[in-house]
C-alpha cells in the first residue's frame, strides 16, 4: 500500500472518531445539564415566603388548631394574638404570617406547602414582618449592621413565646447581651452607665433596627450624650478641643475600670495630649510657677482645671 492510500485511511479514521464524539456529546450533555438544573440547594434557607403557598386558599385558625392545638391555645394570650382581634392586618390569624394553608392541609400537613418563618433567611423574615411593621424606627433596617449580618427578627423576637409589646424572647438588655458579649462585660466594670441597675437599657441610646454610627438614636454620639449631659454641650467661650471633637476621645460609653468612664486615669489621660504640662514654668519661664511636687501632690489635672469640658471665664478651663 502506497503512502497516499495510508494517508486517506488515517484521515477517514479520524473523521469517524470525530463523528462518534459528536454523537456522544449530543446525547449525553443535555441530559447532564437537565439533571444539574433540577438539583436544589438544600443547604440554603428559603428566601421567599410567598412562593411556598402562593396558590393556596385561607382555611381559618380553627383548621390550624386541629393539629396545632397547643399553639392555638397560647396564641390569644400573646401580643399578636390580642391585636388580631382589633387589627385588620392580623385578621387571618395564623395565616397572616404563615400564608394560606389549604395546600398544607390537603397535603396532610406537608411542611413544604406552608411558610415557616424559622426556615427563612434574615432578609426574608424582615420582608415578612415589614408587611405590617412600617414604623419610623424601622426605616433604616436594611442599611443597618444587624440586617447586613443576616440577623433575623426571630433572633430577638418570638411571636408565640415572646413577652411584652415587642414579643422579645427575653428582657431587652439580655436580648442584646446574647451577641454583644464585650459590652456586657464592660457593664460589669466599676464605672458604667446604670444599665445593670435598671435605670437605663440598651435602647435608651441605640435603635436595634438600624441607625447611624453604631445604631445610635441620634446623628452623632455627641448629640446623644448631650441629651442627658446638657451642661457639657456648650457652646463655650473657651472650648476644650477633644470635647468639641467627640466625647469618646476621653470616655468609654459602656463601662470602664477608671472613674467617670474615662479611658485612662488622671493625670495619664491628660498627658496623652499634653506631653509636658507646665514645662516652661519648671525651667524658670514666665507665668504661674508650679513645682513638680505640687503636681504630684494634686495628682489630678482637674483639681485646678475643673471646667475641663469648656469654660466661659478662663482659657485655662478653670472657675
Q: Which of 66, 49, 65, 60 is nearest to 102 (CA)?
A: 60
* CB contact at 8 A, 250 and 269: yes
Distance of alpha carbon 173 from alpha carbon 150, whole angstroms: 20
Exposed e or buried b for every residue in 162-184, given b needs 16+ CB within 10 A? beeeebbbeebbebbbeebeebb
- Is residue 286 pLDDT above 50, yes or no? no
Distance of alpha carbon 105 from alpha carbon 197, whole angstroms: 50
pLDDT level of residue 78 (50, 70, 90 thresholds): very high
Report for 134-138, 176-180, 298-302: range of highest mean pLDDT:
176-180
pLDDT score of 111:
92
- Is residue 276 pLDDT above 70, yes or no? no
- Is residue 48 pLDDT above 50, yes or no? yes
Contacts (Cβ under 8 Å, ≥6 apart) of 237: 311, 312, 313
* CB contact at 8 A, 111 and 66: no
- Is residue 114 pLDDT above 60, yes or no? yes
pLDDT score of 318:
72
Distance of alpha carbon 56 from alpha carbon 104, whole angstroms: 8
For the segment 158-213, what is each residue's pLDDT rounded down to a tens digit? 999 998 889 999 888 999 999 999 999 999 999 999 999 999 999 999 999 988 88
pLDDT score of 290:
56
How much is the pTM?
A: 0.72
For the segment 121-130, what is each residue's pLDDT rounded down to a tens digit? 999 999 999 9
pLDDT score of 85:
87
- Percentage of the chain beyond pLDDT 70 is 75
Q: What is the distance, to the nearest Å, from the Cα of residue 212 to the centroid of all Cα atoms in its chain?
A: 12
For the segment 246-256, what is each residue's pLDDT rounded down to a tens digit? 899 999 999 99
pLDDT level of residue 24 (50, 70, 90 thresholds): very low
For residue 216, the cross-strand partners are 206, 212
pLDDT score of 55:
77
Give me the residue label for grid cell 390537603: 106
Q: What is the distance, to the nearest Å, from the Cα of residue 197 to the centroid of all Cα atoms in its chain?
A: 24
| Phi, psi (deg, nearest 5) at residue 168 | -75, 145
Domain ranges (residues) in the chain: 61-169, 234-311
- Percentage of the chain beyond pLDDT 90 is 48
Distance of alpha carbon 24 from alpha carbon 184, whole angstroms: 65
For the segment 51-70, what is each residue's pLDDT rounded down to a tens digit? 566 678 999 999 999 999 99
Instruction: Give the residue-averaged pLDDT of 289-311.
Output: 72
pLDDT score of 29:
37
Distance of alpha carbon 263 from alpha carbon 248, whole angstroms: 9
DSSP state of 113: G
For the segment 222-250, what is each residue's pLDDT rounded down to a tens digit? 899 999 999 898 889 898 988 888 899 99
Instruction: Give the residue-averaged pLDDT of 37-59.
Output: 55
pLDDT score of 15:
52
Distance of alpha carbon 79 from alpha carbon 91, whole angstroms: 14
Contacts (Cβ under 8 Å, ≥6 apart) of 139: 210
pLDDT score of 293:
56
Q: Which three cell numbers, joined as nine digits, stand for 10? A: 488515517
**Residues present in the chain in total:** 319
Amino acid at each position: 500500500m502506497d503512502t497516499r492510500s495510508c494517508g486517506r485511511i488515517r484521515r477517514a479514521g479520524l473523521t469517524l472518531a470525530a463523528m462518534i464524539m459528536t454523537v456522544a456529546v449530543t446525547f449525553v450533555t443535555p441530559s447532564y445539564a437537565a439533571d444539574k438544573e433540577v438539583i436544589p440547594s438544600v443547604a440554603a434557607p428559603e428566601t421567599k415566603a410567598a412562593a411556598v403557598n402562593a396558590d393556596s386558599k385561607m382555611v381559618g385558625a380553627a383548621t390550624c388548631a386541629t393539629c396545632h392545638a397547643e399553639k392555638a391555645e397560647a396564641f390569644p394570650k400573646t401580643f399578636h394574638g390580642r391585636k388580631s382581634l382589633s387589627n385588620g392586618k392580623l385578621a387571618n390569624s395564623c395565616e397572616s404570617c404563615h400564608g394560606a394553608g389549604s395546600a398544607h392541609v390537603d397535603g396532610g400537613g406537608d411542611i413544604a406547602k406552608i411558610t415557616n418563618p424559622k426556615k427563612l433567611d434574615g432578609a426574608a423574615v424582615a420582608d415578612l414582618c415589614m408587611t405590617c411593621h412600617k414604623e419610623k424606627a424601622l426605616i433604616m433596617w436594611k442599611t443597618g449592621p444587624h440586617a447586613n449580618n443576616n440577623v433575623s427578627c426571630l433572633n430577638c423576637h418570638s411571636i408565640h413565646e415572646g413577652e411584652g409589646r415587642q414579643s422579645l424572647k427575653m428582657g431587652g438588655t439580655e436580648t442584646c447581651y446574647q451577641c454583644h458579649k464585650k459590652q456586657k462585660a464592660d457593664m460589669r466594670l466599676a464605672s458604667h452607665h446604670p444599665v445593670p441597675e435598671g435605670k437605663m437599657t440598651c435602647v435608651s441610646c441605640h435603635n436595634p433596627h438600624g441607625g447611624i454610627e453604631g445604631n445610635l438614636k441620634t446623628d452623632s454620639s455627641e448629640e446623644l450624650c448631650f441629651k442627658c449631659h446638657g451642661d457639657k454641650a456648650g457652646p463655650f467661650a473657651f472650648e476644650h478641643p477633644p470635647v468639641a471633637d467627640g466625647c469618646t476621645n476621653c470616655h468609654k460609653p459602656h463601662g470602664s475600670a477608671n472613674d467617670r468612664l474615662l479611658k485612662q486615669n488622671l493625670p495619664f489621660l491628660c498627658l496623652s495630649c499634653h506631653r509636658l504640662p507646665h514645662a516652661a514654668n519648671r525651667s524658670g519661664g514666665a507665668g504661674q510657677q508650679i513645682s513638680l511636687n505640687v503636681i504630684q501632690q494634686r495628682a489630678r489635672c482637674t483639681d485646678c482645671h475643673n471646667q475641663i469640658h469648656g469654660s466661659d471665664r478662663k482659657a485655662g478651663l478653670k472657675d
